[in-house]
Amino acid sequence: QMYLTESGGGLVQAGGSLRLTCTASGTFDRAKIMAWFRQSPGHQRELVASMSSGHEANVAGSVKGRFTISMNNAKDTLNLQMNNLKPEDTGTYYCNVADWGGSFWGQGTQVTVSS
């Protein structure tokens, strides 16, 4: 079992930046993939960015060039740096980790971007 806690969300104006943090109860040593998803009202949860166990990072086309996913050296924190935020980035952002024991989710952190 892995417990994940997201933080760093908030209200920001369009063009602003936020840095989301996902802190794990353990480390990501056994993780196959680590990711950030988001969900806005009336929409399905969508993948925003992911990082493989080999540290290969990918981001969705809608956030490419603006969002960056990274992991700290201790391998217990996953970050999402979000720059040049747009109103359509508004939503609840969730951290997800999949390892050999299952798939784990945090409770989410709200990001609201005003125009």
Residue range 96-109: mean pLDDT, rounded: 93
> Is the pLDDT confidence value at 53 over 90?
no
Type of residue at 108: G
Q: Can you give the pLDDT at residue 95?
A: 97
- Residue 1, pLDDT score: 84
The residue with tokens 């806690």 is 5
| 27 pLDDT more than 90 | no
Contacts of residue 64, Cβ cutoff 8 Å, sequence gap at least 6: none
Average pLDDT, stretch 62-79? 94
Q: Which residue pairs, CB below 8 angstroms and at least 24 apart, start in 57-62?
A: 62/88
Q: Which of the pair, 1 or 70, is modelled with greater confidence?
A: 70
Of residues 65 and 31, more confidence is placed in 65
Q: What pLDDT, on the 0 to 100 scale, is given for residue 68?
A: 98
3-state secondary structure 24-53: ECCCCCCEEEEEEEEECCCCCCEEEEEEEC
pLDDT at 73 over 90: no
Mean of pLDDT values over 70-75: 89
